Amino acid sequence: MPKAIFIDHDGGQFEAEIPVGQSLMEGAVDNMIDGIIGECGGVMSCATCHCYVAKEWEDKLPPASEREEDMLDMAIDPKENSRLSCQIEMTDELDGITVYLPRSQF
């Protein structure tokens, strides 16, 4: 099962195994990773699953949709590598993906 690495704003690192086909957000919530809330359950209506994708993983993801980009505009401190983790579907190719968590989702 592929793993994802979450690094919080204080530098704490947490790993989670996430089944193929499940979103990064679902995996974070299921593994009780602090910093990913997923308040809307993954329907892109809250941006509380905002994360920063490590540069080396950006090209391995499909581009954000226009709707995701619109939601990221509402996120706290969005950057060029910002993504909604509910829109990142785990695959075997993403084994080891590293994402950084913002200081706050609100």
Domains of the chain: 3-100 (3.10.20.30)
53: how many CB neighbours lie within 10 A of its CB? 22
Q: What is the pLDDT of residues 62-97, one digit of tens each?
A: 999 999 999 999 999 999 999 999 999 999 999 999
Q: What is the pLDDT of residues 8-62, one digit of tens each?
A: 999 999 999 999 999 999 999 999 999 999 999 999 999 999 999 999 999 999 9
d(CA 45, CA 32): 21
pTM for the model: 0.95
Q: Kindly tell me if the per-residue pLDDT of 106 is higher than 90.
A: no
